[in-house]
Amino acid sequence: MARPVVAIVGRPNVGKSTIFNRLIGDRLAIVEDKPGITRDRIYGVSDWNGKSFSVIDTGGIEIDGEDAILKSIRVQAELAIEEADVIVFMCEAKSGLTSSDEEVAQILFRSGKPIVLAINKVDNMKRTEDIYEFYSLGIGDPIGISGSHGTGIGDLLDAVVERLPDKTDEEYDDDVIRVALIGRPNVGKSSLVNAILGEERVIVSDVAGTTRDAIDTPFERDGQRYVLIDTAGMRKRGKVYENTEKYSVMRAMKAIERADVVLVVINGEEGIIDQDKHIAGYAHDAGKASIFVVNKWDAIEKDDKTMQNFERNIRDHFLFMSYAPVVFLSALTKQRLQKLLPVVQHVAQQHALRITTHLVNDVVSDAVAINPPPTDKGRRLRINYVTQVATKPPTIVVFVNDPSLMHFSYERYLENKLRAAFNFEGTPIRLFTRRKSENEG
């Protein structure tokens, strides 16, 4: 089931990114250590009092052109209204209430969405008194916080969690494979949905962003049930939206959260651009099984090395997703389309694969025997035992004498050995190192 979405909205320089990092804690370190991830981070996951939710920092979205700042905050507000379940509206005590704050407040207030009003940079007792003027916005009690000192963050999270909805929609049986299509506008996601289904179920146009919403389409093929989630592009609302592809992030994230398998659709005619790396990275961070789908393959002049060269290019650009298979096809002509669903089914099985503890330990023991961990200042990492604790994605905990001795390169070596033994094609593996406590067997 999809996590609720919390969006942080506010004018520039109120500290949105600092609060974003506070809310998601150290989760960034888990995913950003990987090589090849070179993207701005505006999405994360937070947990508070047993409730998990996605957090979007709208400050990570850029707008070009005249009146850029005013357009930016207005569009952020509209975007949050459209996609978020709860909105954190951030102002700051130092500069006080501004006309921009008032304009955004009016837009948010009219939406009827739950709003938490957070006043940042309340760094001392004098600043505490500065929050009272924000009552005039008419959107509830302002919560004084300090991104730099971390004060008030617990109160903010309490208020957010209190307003989160109870998600009861879109439940599917466990045997249904949920497939999300993500990618830049106009790479052919809706055309691919239609090609798979064999009928015009989704509006298709050459104009980027013509699909109105994420659409669930259940179907069955060869005894396997699927649900296609087409994220498509953003709604077309003038030049501001047309010029900012990052606005597809919120919708894509909602679909990714709900999916078992993510199809990262790339336009074969245009090749790979940085935005493809941004989009694919979200599927990787969410721990989803993924497949690169190179669409419009019919429109490319080919020789016997074209496919091989394109795949090598994908591997060079997406070092952090070397596990994801590549499928070349054409939604328009249905060329090679029949190859897609068997790969979807295979990576879904790999994503849900559970390996018994003794088999995992055997593989890791052999790996250590072949290549023992290096010493660090005379101390050597000792691996006590290994166990898989979760699936979707396969999550493995390595219990050791001292987690600080586990070097990233050795962790990567163990992951490669596990992949060689058990395949895990199409799915990331999560490896966590923990200290073995005294009372563990």
167 is annotated as contributing to ligand binding? no
234 is annotated as contributing to ligand binding? yes
144 is annotated as contributing to ligand binding? no
14 is annotated as contributing to ligand binding? yes
- Domain hosting 158: range is 5-163
188 is annotated as contributing to ligand binding? yes
Same domain flag for 43 and 124: yes
- The listed range with the strongest mean pLDDT (64-73, 198-207, 337-346) is 337-346
Q: List, in order, residues 6 or more apart from 82 with CB less than 8 Å away.
A: 235, 250
Question: What is the per-residue burial (b if ≥16 Cβ within 10 Å, else e) of 10-46?
Answer: bbeebbbbbbbbbbbeebeeebeebebbebebbbbbb
180 is annotated as contributing to ligand binding? no
Among 351, 367, 394, where does a domain finish?
Answer: 351
11 is annotated as contributing to ligand binding? yes
48 is annotated as contributing to ligand binding? no
120 is annotated as contributing to ligand binding? yes
**Assigned domain for 16 exists:** yes
- Extract the tokens encoding 81: 């209204």
362 is annotated as contributing to ligand binding? no
Residues 348-394 pLDDT 10s: 999 999 999 999 999 999 999 999 998 888 899 999 999 999 999 99
61 is annotated as contributing to ligand binding? yes
Same domain flag for 332 and 367: no
59 is annotated as contributing to ligand binding? yes
- Extract the tokens encoding 364: 């890791």
- 425 to each of 289, 341, 422, how far by Cα in Å? 8, 15, 9
Same domain flag for 342 and 372: no
Residues 269-287 pLDDT 10s: 988 877 788 778 889 988 9
**Assigned domain for 441 exists:** no
378 is annotated as contributing to ligand binding? no
The residue whose two tokens read 């790479």 is: 187
**Assigned domain for 12 exists:** yes
123 is annotated as contributing to ligand binding? yes
Of 157, 117, 147, 120, the C-alpha closest to 135 is: 117
Same domain flag for 123 and 56: yes
Under 8 Å between Cβ of 184 and 279: yes
13 is annotated as contributing to ligand binding? yes
Q: Which has more confidence, 289 or 211?
A: 289
**Assigned domain for 262 exists:** yes
Given a cut of 80, is residue 242 above it in pLDDT?
A: no
Mean pLDDT check: name the lowest of 69-83, 94-108, 238-252.
Answer: 238-252
Write out the DSSP string of 79-103. Answer: HHHHH-SEEEEEEETTT---HHHHH
184 is annotated as contributing to ligand binding? yes
pTM, to two decimals: 0.71
17 is annotated as contributing to ligand binding? yes
Same domain flag for 251 and 392: no
230 is annotated as contributing to ligand binding? yes
- 97 to each of 67, 90, 92, 313, how far by Cα in Å? 20, 11, 8, 50
**Assigned domain for 420 exists:** yes
**Assigned domain for 375 exists:** yes
d(CA 105, CA 301): 53
Same domain flag for 110 and 247: no
Confidence of residue 213 (pLDDT cuts 50, 70, 90): very low
**Assigned domain for 168 exists:** no
**Assigned domain for 440 exists:** no
- Which CATH number covers residue 405? 3.30.300.20
Same domain flag for 155 and 182: no
What mean pLDDT is predicted for residues 251-272?
Answer: 87
Same domain flag for 341 and 378: no
End-to-end CA distance of the chain: 35
- The listed range with the strongest mean pLDDT (88-92, 202-206, 232-236) is 88-92
Domain count, the chain: 3
44 is annotated as contributing to ligand binding? no
- Which CATH number covers residue 38? 3.40.50.300
Confidence of residue 76 (pLDDT cuts 50, 70, 90): low
Same domain flag for 325 and 405: no
Same domain flag for 264 and 227: yes
Same domain flag for 292 and 314: yes
140 is annotated as contributing to ligand binding? no
297 is annotated as contributing to ligand binding? yes
Among 163, 197, 221, where does a domain finish?
Answer: 163
194 is annotated as contributing to ligand binding? no
Same domain flag for 141 and 267: no
Among 132, 163, 194, where does a domain finish?
Answer: 163
d(CA 241, CA 251): 14
Strand, helix or coil for residue 292: strand
